[in-house]
């Protein structure tokens, strides 16, 4: 198996007395054991883990943390983890066979976050467990994943690719697009959503052609002003009489 759980607290409590070389030997022996899933043969093991110049430290660690059997040195704790991993892998293979017989696709009623099949060379990976995209900060990515999760929407490589495409259309970076989704509570991102809206004055400038000729309506007002004459004297007198105004300037 190429993956195993490493409990830092347990490891530290059991190995705090080891020297640096012994600690390195123990870690390499564990890696070797999990990788090959088989007992460790004492002969030539120091060379196999790249520590042939420290054979005595390697043997000391073997005697302390592994159990000597006819088949070689074994680790009950590691064997337990390997057994769990094998069972999980077998269950995954059975599930794959069933899906293949049904057409190779997940059934319509299956939950979107169902645990996928585990292979022998990688740890199980859920649909919401993909690496932080290049160029995106961890904080922004985690906030985006949390937002999608709240909306019960899966986070897949394809989702990221679609957002990247729309971000390119908008002239934005992927991180800017994801951050905008977080701020606005958007499940996804579209370039049309962030296009600047034109100002009304800009619309007028583009819809009404410019011209050096005075507007006809304004020309008519100018002509009317030039042809307008003051009212006759008797009309002005009647106005003053009606208004009770004696000011001759009226």
Domain boundaries defined on the chain: 1-126, 138-194
- Residue 21 is encoded by which pair of tokens? 């070389």
Mind listing the pLDDT tens digit for each residue in 55-66? 999 999 999 999
Q: How far is CA 37 from the centre of its chain?
A: 36
Mind listing the pLDDT tens digit for each residue in 64-84? 999 989 888 998 888 888 888
> Closest Cα partner for 59 from 42, 74, 71?
42
- Block residue for tokens 């007028």: 204
Query: Measured between alpha carbons, how far apart are the two ends of the chain, in Å?
Result: 109
Is residue 49 within 8 Å of 25, Cβ to Cβ?
yes
Residue 25's pLDDT band (cuts 50, 70, 90): very high
The pTM (predicted TM-score) of the whole model is: 0.37
Looking at residue 71, the DSSP 8-state letter turns out to be: S
Looking at residue 124, the DSSP 8-state letter turns out to be: -
Bridge-partner residues for 51, per DSSP? Answer: none
Residue 205's pLDDT band (cuts 50, 70, 90): low
Looking at residue 131, the DSSP 8-state letter turns out to be: P
Mind listing the pLDDT tens digit for each residue in 143-176? 999 999 998 888 888 899 999 999 999 999 999 9
């Amino acid at each position: 198996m190429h993956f195993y759980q490493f409990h830092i607290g347990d490891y530290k409590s059991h190995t705090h007395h080891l020297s640096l070389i012994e600690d390195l030997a123990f870690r390499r022996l564990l890696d070797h054991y999990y990788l090959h899933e088989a007992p460790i043969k004492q002969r030539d093991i120091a060379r196999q883990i790249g520590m042939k110049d420290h054979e005595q430290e390697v043997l000391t660690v073997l005697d302390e943390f592994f159990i000597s059997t006819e088949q070689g040195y074994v680790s009950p704790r590691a064997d337990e983890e390997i057994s769990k991993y094998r069972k999980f892998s077998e269950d995954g293979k059975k599930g794959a066979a069933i899906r293949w017989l049904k057409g190779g696709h997940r059934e319509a009623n299956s939950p979107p976050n169902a645990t996928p099949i585990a292979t022998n060379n990688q740890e199980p990976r859920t649909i919401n467990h993909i690496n932080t995209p290049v160029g995106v900060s961890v904080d922004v990515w985690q906030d985006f994943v949390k937002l999608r999760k709240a909306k019960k929407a899966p986070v897949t490589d394809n989702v990221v690719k679609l957002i990247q495409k729309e971000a390119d259309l908008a002239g934005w970076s992927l991180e800017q697009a994801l951050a905008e989704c977080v701020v606005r509570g958007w499940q996804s991102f579209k370039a049309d959503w962030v296009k600047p809206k034109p100002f009304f004055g800009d619309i007028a400038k583009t819809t009404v052609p410019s011209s050096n000729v005075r507007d006809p309506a304004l020309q008519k007002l100018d002509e009317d002003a030039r042809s307008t004459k003051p009212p006759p004297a008797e009309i002005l007198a009647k106005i003053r009489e009606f208004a009770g105004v004696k000011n001759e300037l009226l």
